[in-house]
């Protein structure tokens, strides 16, 4: 199928609470956007919800469309089944095969963090850069790598999964670290997710605040919240430095709820040089351009691969 014969690309973001569809033309202009609630714990109903969204869009355009889907987790290259999804009812299911059968066409699927990275590399904050590392820091952490416009997945389909490495250069107060859902302790996710920041603040101060409140109070001059935010910035710098030391990307694009902390983009780059194995750090740290739309846009752009 030639890209020139595809006037419209459909992207679907399969989330834990919503399923969103977007239609993009070849220039990236948004033609349609809809969402429905995700059927909770019901695999068959989830497939039908996706089918309904695609069929509705096709009827509206009456033109050839491609379908790309961003999912939690990834397709195992050994089994063809979905793995590592926090929507656990999807794990162990032949999601790609079932959707291709249901929709009667080829479908492209990638991890939602990969879709975020592809979106930002294609026409977002990382547009024009050769190597883009896309980072999602929100209720969890995720990452994706795009090189010259193509998503890297790797033989294990886990390229970019930086959040399930241990926090680099930990001090005594950071060891052994909190339990992570992956079965390990002290993962980057347990420190840098929104709940991770809240947990660290509770440990140090005894105050149970969510991450949004901590940031608001830090900016208002609360000393304890400011300390938590500074610790967060240092941990983010350490974690990104490890990525730079391995991948050396041209740009790192932050997404997710924690990327709305504007001071990260000033303070973290100033901390990076003490952790990066180089005489200077030229990797740019940028905020996403497309916000919450990056995942679903990236799913549509999978057909540029």
DSSP 5-59: G--EEEEEEE-SSEEEEEEEETT--EEEEEEEEPPTT-HHHHHHHHHHHHHHHHH
**With 70 as the cut, is the pLDDT of residue 5 above it?**
no
Fold agreement (3-117+293-304, 128-288): yes
Sign of CA dihedral 210, 142, 68, 88: negative
E strands, 114-228, are 131-137, 141-147, 150-152
Is the domain spanning 3-117+293-304 CATH 3.30.420.40? The answer is: yes
Name the residue among 248, 217, 215, 241 with its Cα closest to residue 229: 215
Which helix (DSSP H) or strand (DSSP E) does residue 70 occupy?
strand 65-71
Mean pLDDT of the region 199-221: 97
pLDDT digits (tens, 9 = 90+) for 241-275: 999 999 999 999 999 999 999 999 999 999 999 99
> What fold does the segment set 128-288 form as a domain?
Nucleotidyltransferase; domain 5 (3.30.420)
DSSP for 131-159, please give it: EEEEEEESSSEEEEEEETTEEE-TTTT-T
Q: What is the pLDDT of residue 305?
A: 66
Q: How confident is the model at residue 64 (pLDDT cuts 50, 70, 90)?
A: confident
The confidence score (pLDDT) of residue 114 equals: 96
pTM: 0.92
Query: What is the share, in percent, of the chain residues with pLDDT greater than 70?
Result: 98
Average pLDDT, rounded, for the chain: 94
Residue 2: pLDDT above 50? no
Identify the pLDDT of residue 88: 82
pLDDT at 6 over 90: no
Residue 76: the pLDDT is: 93
Q: Which pLDDT does position 89 carry in this prediction?
A: 87
Residue 164 confidence (pLDDT): 94
Q: What is the mean pLDDT of the segment spanning 31-52?
A: 95
> Model confidence at 134, in pLDDT bands (50, 70, 90)?
very high
Domain parsing of the chain, residue ranges: 3-117+293-304, 128-288
């Amino acid at each position: 199928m030639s890209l020139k014969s595809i006037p419209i690309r459909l992207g679907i973001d399969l989330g834990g609470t919503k399923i969103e569809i977007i239609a993009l033309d070849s220039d990236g202009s948004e033609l349609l956007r809809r969402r429905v609630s995700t059927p909770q714990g019901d695999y068959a109903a989830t497939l039908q919800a996706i089918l309904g969204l695609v069929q509705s869009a096709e009827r509206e355009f009456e033109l050839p469309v491609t379908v790309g889907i961003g999912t939690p987790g990834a397709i195992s290259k050994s089994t063809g089944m979905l793995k590592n999804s926090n929507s656990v009812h999807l794990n162990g299911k032949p999601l790609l095969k079932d959707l291709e059968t249901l929709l009667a066409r080829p479908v492209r699927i990638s991890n939602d963090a990969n879709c975020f990275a592809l979106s930002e590399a294609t026409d977002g904050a990382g547009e024009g850069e050769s190597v883009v590392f896309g980072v999602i820091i929100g209720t969890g952490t995720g990452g994706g790598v795009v090189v010259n416009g193509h998503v890297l997945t790797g033989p294990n389909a886990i390229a970019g999964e930086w959040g399930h490495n241990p926090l680099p250069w930990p001090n005594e107060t950071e060891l052994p670290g909190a339990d992570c859902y992956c079965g390990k302790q002290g993962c980057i996710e347990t420190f840098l997710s929104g709940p991770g920041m809240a947990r660290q603040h509770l440990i140090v101060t005894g105050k149970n605040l969510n991450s949004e409140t901590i940031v608001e109070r830090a900016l208002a001059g609360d000393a304890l919240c400011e300390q938590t935010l500074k610790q967060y910035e240092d941990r983010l710098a350490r974690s990104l430095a490890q990525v730079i030391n391995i991948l050396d990307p041209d740009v790192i694009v932050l997404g997710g709820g924690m990327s709305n902390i504007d001071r990260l983009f000033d303070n973290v780059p100033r901390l990076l040089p003490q952790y990066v194995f180089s005489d200077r750090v030229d990797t740019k740290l940028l905020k996403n351009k497309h916000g919450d739309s990056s995942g679903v846009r990236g799913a549509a752009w999978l057909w540029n691969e």
